[in-house]
Amino acid sequence: IQSKQPDTGTTIFTVMSKLAGDYGALNLSQGFPSFNCSEKLTDLVAFYLKKGMNQYAPMAGIQPLREIISQKTFELYGVNYHPDSEITIVSGATEALYAAVTTIVHEGDEVILLEPCYDSYTPAITLNGGIPVYITLSPENAYKIDWELVKSKISEKTRLIMLNTPHNPTGTVMSREDLNQLAEIVKDTDIFIIGDEVYEHIIFDEHEHWSLLRNPVLKERSFICNSFGKTFHVTGWKVGYCLAPKQLTEEFRKVHQWLTFSTVTPIQYALADFLKDPDNYLSIPKFYQDKRDKFLDCIKGSRFSYTPAQGSFFQCLNYQNITNENDFNLAVRLTKEIGVASIPVSVFYHQKNDFKILRFCFAKDDETLEKAGEQLLKL
């Protein structure tokens, strides 16, 4: 077979989680909670399973779920997405991202990516014949986006820009001003945007979620990709949604139809009920801020340096005061020697760099965070 992805192995998340398993290490690498979701939610799934909601859902997702998402989006951000024609339920944000890229990118189109970026973006582009154009965000500059640089990378071939806020792996968030600057760049062009907003509700301190849909210039050209996996501690369910204006959704659904056709039925019904109580998602920022603070408290006095995450369930730690090793080797060594697995941030870059940063997932029970802290303090 002639491989379409000769340079691709398994993802770093698979690699590090396996290593953590092999060495019995605390797994702060792959992003998933170590605790269970709400019992209310599992009861709802059990109810709909037993009730017999076990056949194909409609291609776009069940009506009650699309309706409650529409209502929630309006209540949170004051914008309308019509449940019939502008909201699609998908099998996780990974599917939403792939389908959105496939909807837009033709052979030879350029797509602007800000890196570090999530690992599925580049393959989605290249498998569709697109060309990724990378802009490096640097920890030395607090990963701030240089919009002049973004503007300078736009060519006649630019068809799409992909953004992620709150951001995996850096834990930074975009501001209203970022949205304004982006809008200034793309208005009067035919450039589309994908907003990966899976950590929408995992945002801390004084920060608020500047969803791209809050800017009208961006909303009309954006696919907003979201996932219930992060918000409700159910990453294994792989259920998410995509918001996009009618014409974009029409094309998006054509792709979704051939990728998965539809998404798991009983879980959609359970989520539609669960979303009726806004406390179920409005309680999440505090829950995760406490987790972040717990983790930072556990590593207090260590030789790592860091800026507290503004959002997401990841904390990046800079280890330049500890060792000169590269981040991949260090992540492997820490897993084997001190029993704490993390993710080397260089894997989220395509242009070579020597930033000395590891990403730790703090979506873990307090005991795991305490034990991890004890081990990290030894460095």
Write the CB contacts of 18 (distance below 8 Å, at least 6 apart in sequence).
none
Number of residues lying near ligand GLN (CB under 6 A)? 5
Residue 16 Cβ, how far from ligand GLN at the closest point, in Å?
Answer: 9
Query: What is the C-alpha separation between 356 and 133, in angstroms, rounded?
Result: 24
Residue 31 Cβ, how far from ligand GLN at the closest point, in Å?
Answer: 3
* Closer to ligand GLN by Cβ: residue 168 or 231: 168
The DSSP symbol for 350 reads S
* Closer to ligand GLN by Cβ: residue 30 or 215: 30
Binding test (CB under 6 A) with ligand GLN, winner from 31, 195, 266, 311: 31
Query: What is the C-alpha separation between 373 and 58, in angstroms, rounded?
Result: 47
CB nearest ligand GLN: which residue? 31
Query: What is the C-alpha separation between 342 and 20, in angstroms, rounded?
Result: 9
Residue 317 phi/psi, 5° resolution? -125, 135
Rounded to 5°, angle at Cα 160 from 62 and 311 = 65
Per-residue mark of binding to ligand GLN, 167-196 (x: CB under 6 A): -x----------------------------
* Closer to ligand GLN by Cβ: residue 83 or 195: 195
* Closer to ligand GLN by Cβ: residue 31 or 130: 31
Residue 192 Cβ, how far from ligand GLN at the closest point, in Å?
Answer: 23
- Total number of residues shown for the chain: 379
Residue 338, amino acid: I
Applying the rule CB under 6 A, the residues between 112 and 171 that interact with ligand GLN are 168
* Closer to ligand GLN by Cβ: residue 224 or 345: 345
| 3-state secondary structure at position 267 | helix
* 323: contact with ligand GLN by CB under 6 A: no
* Closer to ligand GLN by Cβ: residue 186 or 317: 317
* 30: contact with ligand GLN by CB under 6 A: yes
Other Cβ atoms less than 10 A from the Cβ of 19: the count is: 17
* 312: contact with ligand GLN by CB under 6 A: no
Query: What is the C-alpha separation between 13 and 360, in angstroms, rounded?
Result: 12
C-beta separation of 130 from 105 below 8 A: yes
Residue with tokens 């207090």: 300
* Closer to ligand GLN by Cβ: residue 192 or 199: 199
Between helices 63-77 and 265-274, what is the axis angle to 10°?
40
* 13: contact with ligand GLN by CB under 6 A: yes
Binding test (CB under 6 A) with ligand GLN, winner from 8, 11, 152, 329: 11
List residues binding ligand GLN (CB under 6 A).
11, 13, 30-31, 168
